[in-house]
Homo-oligomer: A and B are copies of this chain.
Amino acid sequence: MEESLKTYEEYFSQAVEVRMRHYEKEGRLQHVMLSHQFSISLMEELFDIADHVKEMTRKPNGIEFLKSLLCHKKAMLYFTQPSTRTFLSFLTACQMVGMDTGEVRDPSLSSEYKGESQEDGVRVFSSYFDMIIMRDPKPGFCEYMAYLLDSTGRSVPIMNGGSGKDQHPTQALLDLYTMHRSFQKTGGIPKKRYAFVGDLLRGRAVRSSVMLLSQYKDVEMEFIAPSSFQIAADLEEYLLSQDVNIHKTDNLESVISSVDCIYMTRIQDEYDLSGESNLIDYSKYSLTPDNVSRMKKNSIILHPLPRRHEISPEVDADPRAMYWRQLRNGVYIRAALLLYVFNVAHRLKEY
């Protein structure tokens, strides 16, 4: 068995569809790695669980029942890429279903200084905990760890909490869950126009959400960005191959009054190599009470947060602003995912 272990490079030379199958066990999700893993039917199952969880957290005895469901499980939160928001969202999701947690949030505290490989480090976590929730700056690191752990015969589920510039599947899920809830009375996610605004090249949240959204019928997508930050060629090709109706523009004003959803993002200048973000006229890619007033009445504004200046704080009070609700939805959908992965979601009916 050991002889056949693939190197990092060999592993990623496989197509995503092949890798995806590694992350299943007995026909169910074992590791949460890629947006590609979420079909519409699986998403709807998760949305339904999340709705139940949300409902139950309204009352003390609902909260106590939820906390009994996974009180025999423990999760390791391994965040070598700092992220207060995603970290706390996973932490509170774990607490919501009763899981104990351990954490490493600062890579300098780890054993690596003693020369241990990160592979061994992750294997240590799998010896102590029943699940590893991981965020790492190296693209594909989570996937490769899941593959190695599976090969040891003593694996635990791993959840990708954001890897590199690449994938952030639980962010995509919470984005879609928020669209799902917001459009419940207006026909749901299909047949609507979605605008994505800002740094479409480097924001992994957009990339992951667009992948999920493209599965729905008759969605139209507007990509609004300076040309140097437009969506990557591979994503565009993929969308065209899926027959998604897409448009690219650098003019937010031209579409603002006709879309059902505006997904704002910040310019990710921490990835700048030579200050390319400085050349952008940010005001062209921002929302203020003035241009928001031209949006459709039932439309919604999303943002993965943190924001800078791309949405002015005065917009927060507008009923179309859904980004704070989106943030809270993240906890419910992550709790739903925990219940799903440990196969206890059916017990919600006992309540």
Query: How far is the CB of A118 from the nearest CB of chain B, in Å?
Result: 11
Contact A109 B109 (CB under 8 A): no
Contact B2 A316 (CB under 8 A): yes
User: How many residues of A are in contact with the other chain, CB < 8 A?
Assistant: 56
Contact A2 B324 (CB under 8 A): no
The residue among A67, A85, A121, A129 with the most chain B CB atoms within 10 A of its own CB is A85
A74-B95, A84-B104, A95-B74 known; A331 and B266 CB under 8 Å?
A: no
Cα–Cα distance between A31 and B87 once the two chains are bound (Å): 26
Contact A120 B71 (CB under 8 A): no
Which of chain B's residues have a CB closer than 8 A to the CB of A293?
none
Q: Which of B1, B84, B106, B116 contacts A110 (CB 8 A)?
A: B84
Contact B115 A306 (CB under 8 A): yes
Which of chain B's residues have a CB closer than 8 A to the CB of A83?
111
Cα–Cα distance between A125 and B324 once the two chains are bound (Å): 11
Which of chain B's residues have a CB closer than 8 A to the CB of A71?
63-64, 67
Cα–Cα distance between A74 and B270 once the two chains are bound (Å): 32
Q: Which of B63, B317, B331 contacts A2 (CB 8 A)?
A: B317
A309's closest neighbor in chain B, by CB?
Answer: B115
Query: How far is the CB of A93 from the nearest CB of chain B, in Å?
Result: 9
Cα–Cα distance between A121 and B106 once the two chains are bound (Å): 19
Confirm or deny: A154 has a beta carbon within 8 angstroms of a beta carbon on chain B: yes
Interface string of A295-313 (1 = CB under 8 A from B): 0000000000111100001
Confirm or deny: A91 has a beta carbon within 8 angstroms of a beta carbon on chain B: yes
Contact A72 B63 (CB under 8 A): yes
Cα–Cα distance between A85 and B122 once the two chains are bound (Å): 11
Query: How far is the CB of A91 from the nearest CB of chain B, in Å?
Result: 5
Cα–Cα distance between A327 and B152 once the two chains are bound (Å): 15
Which of chain B's residues have a CB closer than 8 A to the CB of A129?
92
Interface string of A51-63 (1 = CB under 8 A from B): 0000000001001
Q: Which of B106, B152, B308, B324 contacts A154 (CB 8 A)?
A: B324
Q: Which A residues form the contact surface with B (CB < 8 A)?
A: 1-2, 60, 63-64, 67, 71-72, 74, 76, 82-85, 88-89, 91-92, 95, 100, 102, 104-106, 109-111, 113-116, 119-121, 123-125, 127-129, 152, 154, 266, 270, 305-308, 313-314, 316-317, 324, 327-328, 331
Besides A64-B72, A115-B306, A152-B316, 8 new A-B residue pairs in contact (Cβ under 8 A), listed by A number: A60-B72, A84-B110, A84-B121, A84-B124, A85-B124, A88-B102, A88-B125, A115-B308
List 27 contacting pairs A-B, 8 Å CB cutoff, sorted by A. Answer: A2-B313, A2-B317, A60-B72, A82-B113, A84-B104, A84-B109, A84-B110, A85-B111, A88-B102, A88-B124, A88-B125, A89-B128, A91-B102, A92-B100, A106-B106, A106-B109, A114-B266, A114-B306, A115-B306, A116-B305, A116-B308, A120-B306, A120-B307, A124-B305, A124-B327, A128-B331, A152-B324
